[in-house]
Amino acid sequence: MAEVNRVAIVTGAGSGIGREVSLQLAGVGWRVALVGRTLGKLEAVAREIDSGERTLCIAADVGEPAAAGRIVAAATQRFGRVDALVNNAGHAPMKPFHQFSDSEIQGVFEVNVLGAIRLTREAWRNLADAKGRVVNVSSYSTIDPFAGLGVYSAAKAGLNLFARAIVNEGRGVLGFTVAPGAVETEMLRSIVPSSALPTNKTLAPADVARVIVACAIGQRDQDAGSVIAMPSP
């Protein structure tokens, strides 16, 4: 199948890593379903790609249980297939884990791991038909947890194992986990000021996206089931 016919769903596509992944996938001919909470941001990314013929914007919060089915239904109705799923959405409130309420813990897990599992479940038949790929965007904090990100790190760690579980299902779908360190994104700067972590100590979203895209389009199949660590400089 030509690359121009392939379809990816990318969550957290309105900014940062997700935006770069979407642009790079489109750059190699893929059609992209852009998923995020803010429609305006998704539409801005879509305009960078084309007039809308090769993109679909889906405003949704992957932390809501009902969102996964709606996202996959919209993507398949528009494009007819799903060849890759990039679970990039993240929610990283920063404070000591013992200060989290039950609802706050639940919210972190809903976005960072449960939403990814639900999306993969809903897209599974399409992914199996396409012998497709799932790329989970985890965090280097699952290897070396940052202070104040214990709950986030625990949630993202679930994605590391989930990639292996996808491979072990035996349906020909390959799962990957990319675990970057601090990446220069809006999410990072919402919790860590540049005075505490200068830009020269962070990764560029485009560099992380290149690894994710390589996994999604079949250039790193040898890494299926593993965690691809990308520590900060």
**CA-CA distance, 207 to 148, in Å (whole number)?**
26
Question: Which residues form the catalytic set?
Answer: 152
- The predicted model scores a pTM of 0.92
Tokens of 93: 């409130």
pLDDT in tens, 98-125: 999 999 999 999 999 999 999 999 999 9
pLDDT in tens, 159-206: 999 999 999 998 899 999 999 977 766 665 666 666 655 567 678 888
Phi and psi torsions of 8, nearest 5°: -125, 145
pLDDT in tens, 27-58: 999 999 999 999 999 999 999 998 678 999 99
**CA-CA distance, 179 to 156, in Å (whole number)?**
9
Helix locations, the chain, DSSP H:
16-27, 39-49, 67-79, 102-109, 115-130, 150-168, 186-191, 205-216
Domains of the chain: 3-230 (3.40.50.720)
Distances 113 to 27, 36, 61, 196 between C-alpha atoms, Å: 28, 16, 13, 28
